[in-house]
Structure 1
Amino acid sequence: MPLRVTFVAAARSAPLLAERFDDERPLDQAGWDEVRRAAADLVPLAAAELRYCSPTPRSRATGDALGYAPLAQLALRDCDMGRWRGLTLGEAMAREPAAVDAWLADPRATPHGGESLLAFISRAGGWLDTRPADDGARIVAVAEPAVIRAALVYALKAPPATYWNLDIRPLSTTTLTGHRGRWNLRFEGPAVRTSQL
């Protein structure tokens, strides 16, 4: 049987437009409230044989609040944004508009002095490909939305530019099934009776 890796996006610590590169802020009250409201749907994932998280405070706090007791994985850290760390996209654009444009246009670019988008995608994918290959192992990983986007681009063998078109909402789940080099995106939701169609 294939591996089943379910990513849970960390609860937010700021409004979307105030999100910062390499954000190390803990959950704010709104984030804790979101976790509490989503807990009934997400707590059952704690039954996974392996439970991991990004090393960020909000990923750890989200996983702990859901009862996962996750093991932090350095490979699931957010993209290293070099000198833009701690800035919003708008702040980086105000300071270095040409550099931001180059970074958005070229997945190999590192105008900030950190990690390229392509290297980030490869790192997240490498983590996926090195998960234990036990038959039917269920894995849950609480991660920053950016990490989940990178893992999806890798798993689907999509062009790196696809990264910018994926929207991962806080506390949403994304499931991949498969094994090294062969991953499938699995959409899940409530069952629909055919008689209702």
Structure 2
Amino acid sequence: MATLLEVSLATTLLLLCAATTPLSRSGGFPGPDDALDEPGRRAAAACVLPVRFAGDVLHAPSRAAAETAATMGLAARIDPALADIDHGTWSGRSFDAIASADTAALPAWLADPVQGTPDGETMAQVQARIGRWLNAIAAAPATSCAITHAMPIRAALAHALDIPLPATLAIDVAPLSRTVLSFNGRWRLQSLGLD
């Protein structure tokens, strides 16, 4: 029979934000094929995952998430649910390039980023996807790590803690930052921060 402590910590999830890419560092909408930049690669190499999370590591299907896992020396498997928000036609483009092409588009997005970019996902769609994934994690108790991106981590916080999506945009999710959630009947935030 499980002890009270084992039951209360039945599910623990570390969400690790992928390391930087050139576009994430300079300002823009990273695409799924963006590689880590050299500072991101060095930072990931220096990042050590707590041993308790190393047994079950998942990563988003993006190149940056896969390279973050590989650079950290982690054996990780792809989980499509962890994909970054789809930036649609803005994927892989810098803020400057978008502003040059359409001076009104970027300010309109900045006024309401929850609605997403042209032909991209909305934050509500990301929250629904991540919410289904979190519900599955909660149903199969384990200790695991998921390497993903800032927007899915914000969506996870919105789902787990019942926070309005616009409020999550006020949460800085830095590259290689760690968000730890636990589940025992409901999700709880254990910690949020860097190494």
TM-score normalized by the length of structure 2 = 0.80
Name the residue aligned to 1:155.
Answer: 160
Name the residue aligned to 1:81.
Answer: 87
Which of 26, 41, 66 pairs up with 1:32? Answer: 41
For residue 110 of structure 1, report the CA deviation from its aligned partner. Answer: 5.0
Name the residue aligned to 1:186.
Answer: 190
SS in 2 for 1:131: helix
Provide the identity percentage: 29
Give the Cα–Cα distance (whole angstroms) in 2 for the partners of residues 106 and 122 of structure 1: 19
1:12 counterpart = 2:23: no
SS in 1 for 2:75: coil
SS in 1 for 2:29: coil
- C-alpha contact 1:45 1:140 (8 A) present in aligned 2: no
1:141 counterpart = 2:149: no
Which of 45, 51, 56 pairs up with 1:44? Answer: 51
Query: What amino acid sits opposite 2:42 in the alignment?
Result: D
- C-alpha contact 2:32 2:61 (8 A) present in aligned 1: no
Query: What amino acid sits opposite 1:20 in the alignment?
Result: F
**CA 70–83 in structure 1, closer or farther in 2 if over 3 Å, else same:** same
Give the Cα–Cα distance (whole angstroms) in 1 for the partners of residues 57 and 96 of structure 2: 34
- C-alpha contact 1:107 1:160 (8 A) present in aligned 2: no
**CA 18–170 in structure 1, closer or farther in 2 if over 3 Å, else same:** same
Name the residue aligned to 1:127.
Answer: 133
RMSD of equivalent CA atoms: 2.5
Give the Cα–Cα distance (whole angstroms) in 1 for the partners of residues 134 and 166 of structure 2: 20
- C-alpha contact 1:4 1:139 (8 A) present in aligned 2: yes
Gaps of 5+ in 1: 190-197
For residue 170 of structure 1, report the CA deviation from its aligned partner. Answer: 1.3
**CA 117–62 in structure 1, closer or farther in 2 if over 3 Å, else same:** same
Query: What amino acid sits opposite 1:184 in the alignment?
Result: R
Which of 182, 186, 191 pairs up with 1:177? Answer: 182
Describe the superposition over 1:59-99 as per-residue Cα deviations: whole angstroms up to 9, x where unpaired.
Answer: 11111232331111111111112111111234334434544
**CA 95–124 in structure 1, closer or farther in 2 if over 3 Å, else same:** farther
Gaps of 5+ in 2: 1-6
